[in-house]
Amino acid sequence: MSKLGPEKAIHVAVVGLGGVGKALMEQLIETPYPINIAAISNSRKMLLFTDGTTCFNHLQWATALDAADAPDTNLDVLRDALGALAKRSTTKVVLVDNTSSEAVANAYPKFLDAGIHVVTPNKKAFSGDLGLYKRLIGESGSPTELPRGVFYNESTVGAGLPIISTLKDLVNTGDKVKKIEGVFSGTLSYIFNEYSKGQEGGPSFSSVVEIAKANGYTEPHPGDDLNGADVARKLTILSRMLPGLLERLPNGHVDVQPTSLVPEALRDANAQEFMQRLPEFDEDIARKRDEAARRGNVLRYVGVIEVSEGHGRVEAKLEEYPKTHAFATSLQGSDNILMFHTERYGARPLLIQGAGAGNAVTAMGVMSDLLKLF
Ligand SMILES: NC(=O)C1=CN([C@@H]2O[C@H](COP(=O)(O)OP(=O)(O)OC[C@H]3O[C@@H](n4cnc5c(N)ncnc54)[C@H](OP(=O)(O)O)[C@@H]3O)[C@@H](O)[C@H]2O)C=CC1
Ligand SMILES: N[C@@H](CC=O)C(=O)O
Ligand code: NA
């Protein structure tokens, strides 16, 4: 329980109020830690409370945003307002990005340079352009007036599960990570956990995808999960944290070519058309499931990162596993399972398992990152 008084309150701007953003607002309202909401925004509207004169009622944020005549969601306006607040405040100012927007991700360096901290479940900045990533980790950039902000991104891999923090701890304490393998997608885990239960006559693939979407596991466009891009992003995020891996990969950078489960005809479909037309392709994937079942196996979508003497490998693929394998027996719902094979955890890997997608658990990871700033 926090004993911190209101004078210790950190200032938090919440950008993105979809599934994760709404769950975060609930946790911000409930928390005993002192937090001032400095701004809220979705893709259409933004409300700023950085001038200290607005009395913001946390409980009515949705009504306030809906009612607002505030069409400006300009990130420079937000950065300037938060930057000014950072200059005059004795406590920290934080941008929380709960979008999957590349535009917001691209703006992080400007926020960090203005002394604003960044907390986010958005994977784009840490898995996209290497130049942007180098700016984020401070390998490039120019001197700043205020001390540079720091970023926390626990929920970018395994939602609230302590994956990023564990990997940081392993690396920072000098352990040598040799291999990370597991099921990295909550959506694909849910889909194959449920789908493998049935055989001929079981649930259709598209109906299971529909439930994963309704449960808040999927990306805003479910094709981003089914084409393996989301797993590839998570593998890239972890790979970039692993000393010595990049130089062992072909061309010196992570280039995951994930197996895609998206039918060719739906490759360019928008989210709505994608979901409408997915049932047309149910038979193709049912055939794969039934063939695996006849061999006594189940389907699982897995990721592997390997670093060995002179060699590196990063892969995302659909594999068959015997029904007795841990990936077949121990996973339920949207579970992720990650195994860290390291020098110290030699004989038996360090294992992390639990819900790897869902609004509440993702918001919990974001919230836990925010609490690191007190
Ligand atoms: N759901 C999960 O289990 C997990 C999600 N994540 C990540 O969390 C993030 C959010 O996911 P989720 O909540 O499911 O997504 P949603 O689609 O439910 O919500 C996204 C929100 O972002 C807003 N938005 C989009 N673009 C902008 C922009 N340029 N400026 C301001 N707001 C914007 C949207 O506005 P509007 O309402 O106007 O459309 C919406 O409120 C994603 O990056 C996802 O990868 C990470 C781990 C797990
Ligand atoms: N869509 C993602 C959400 C978490 O990153 C997943 O299913 O794993
Ligand atoms: Na995590």
> Which tens digits make up the pLDDT trace of 17-39?
999 999 999 999 999 999 999 99
The answer to whether 3 is a known catalytic residue is no
Token pair, residue 105, equals: 């991700």
The residue whose CA has the least distance to atom 3 of ligand 2 is: 357
5, part of any domain: no
Domain check: are 220 and 255 in the same one?
Answer: yes
Does 2 reside within a domain?
Answer: no
Interatomic CA distance for residues 80 and 152, integer angstroms: 21
CA distances from 14 to 236, 306, 370 (A): 26, 36, 11
**Residues 179 and 65 occupy one common structural domain:** no
Q: What digits encode the pLDDT tens for the residues 205-247?
A: 999 999 999 999 999 999 999 999 999 999 999 999 999 999 9
Query: Per mean pLDDT, which range of 21-25, 50-54, 64-68, 174-178 is the poorest?
Result: 50-54
Please tell me whether residues 142 and 172 are part of one structural domain. Answer: no
> Considering Cα of 57, then 366, then 34, then 150, what sign does the dihedral take?
negative
Binding pocket residue ranges, ligand 1, CB within 6 Å = 15-21, 41-44, 73, 98-101, 103-104, 121-123, 155, 159, 186, 216-217, 219-220, 357-359, 362
* Residue 174 among known ligand-binding residues: no
Residues 283 and 181 in one domain: yes
Do 329 and 284 reside in the same domain of the chain? yes
Q: Ligand 3 mean position to 153 CA, how many Å?
A: 8
**Is 307 a member of any domain?**
yes
Has residue 203 got a pLDDT over 80? yes
Is residue 111 one of the residues assigned to a domain?
yes
pLDDT at 289: 87
Distance 371 CA to ligand 2 centre (A): 23
**Which range is least confidently modeled, 41-55, 192-206, 254-268?**
192-206
354 is in an annotated binding site: no
Ligand 2 atom closest to the CA of 225, numbered from 1: 1
> In this prediction, what percent of the chain has a pLDDT beyond 90?
84
Same domain, 210 and 179: yes
Q: How far is the CA of 362 from the centre of ligand 3 (A)?
A: 8
- Total domains, the chain: 2
- Give the percent of the chain with pLDDT over 70: 97
- Residue 119 resides in a domain: yes
Which of ligand 2's atoms lies nearest the C-alpha of 189? 7
Q: Name the residue of 218, 237, 331, 334 to mutate for ligand 2: max ligand atoms within 8 A of Cβ.
A: 218
- Which of 99, 230, 261, 366 to probe ligand 2 with, by most ligand atoms within 8 A of CB? 230
> Is residue 1 in some structural domain?
no
- Give the amino acid at 97: D
ipTM confidence score = 0.99
Q: How far apart are the C-alpha atoms of 89 and 52, rounded to whole Å?
A: 11
**Ligand-binding site membership of 16 (annotated):** yes
Q: What single-letter amino acid sits at 174? A: G
Tell me the pLDDT of the chain averaged across its residues: 94
CA–centroid distance, 310 to ligand 1, in Å, is 39
Q: For the residues 149-173, what does the mean pLDDT come to?
A: 98
Mean pLDDT along residues 68-82:
89
88 & 174 share domain = no
Q: Is 324 annotated as a binding residue?
A: no
Confidence grade of residue 199 (pLDDT, cut at 50, 70, 90): low
Which protein residues are within 6 Å of ligand 2, measured from CB? 159, 185-187, 217-219, 225, 230, 356-357
Q: Does residue 173 sit in the same domain as residue 114?
A: no
For residue 272, give the CATH number of its domain: 3.30.360.10
More confident: 73 or 81: 81
What secondary structure, in 3-state letters, does 45-69 show?
Answer: CEEECCCCCCCCCHHHHHHHHHHCC
Integer CA distances (angstroms), 203 to 145, 192, 271, 301, 358, in order: 58, 11, 22, 18, 22
Please identify which of the residues 92, 234, 317, 323 carries the catalytic annotation: 234
pLDDT higher than 60, residue 42: yes
Burial group, residue 159, by CB count within 10 angstroms (0-12, 13-18, 19+): buried
Strand 335-342 relative to strand 350-355, pairing:
antiparallel
| Mean pLDDT for the stretch of residues 274-291 | 93
Give CA torsion, residues 215, 220, 221, 223, to 10 deg. -60
Residues 126 and 174 placed together within one structural domain of the fold? no
pLDDT score, position 370: 98
20 marked ligand binding residue:
yes
**CATH code of the domain in which 367 resides:** 3.40.50.720
Q: Would 69 be classed as within a structural domain?
A: yes
pLDDT digits (tens, 9 = 90+) for 227-236: 999 999 999 9
Distances (CA, A) of 247 to 9, 31, 240, 242, 254: 43, 43, 11, 11, 10
> 147 and 194: one domain?
no
What integer is the mean pLDDT of 32-54? 90
Asked whether residue 4 is assigned to any structural domain, the reply reads: no
By C-alpha distance, which of 33, 35, 13 is closest to 98?
13
pTM: 0.96
For 204, the domain range is 163-356
Question: Are both 211 and 141 inside the same structural domain?
Answer: no
Do 148 and 216 belong to one domain?
A: no
Angle at 297 between CA 330 and CA 341, to 5 degrees: 50
> Distance between CA 59 and CA 310 in Å, rounded?
55
Q: What is the C-alpha to C-alpha distance for residues 59 and 263, in angstroms, rounded to an integer?
A: 43
CA dist., res. 43 & res. 12, Å (int) = 18
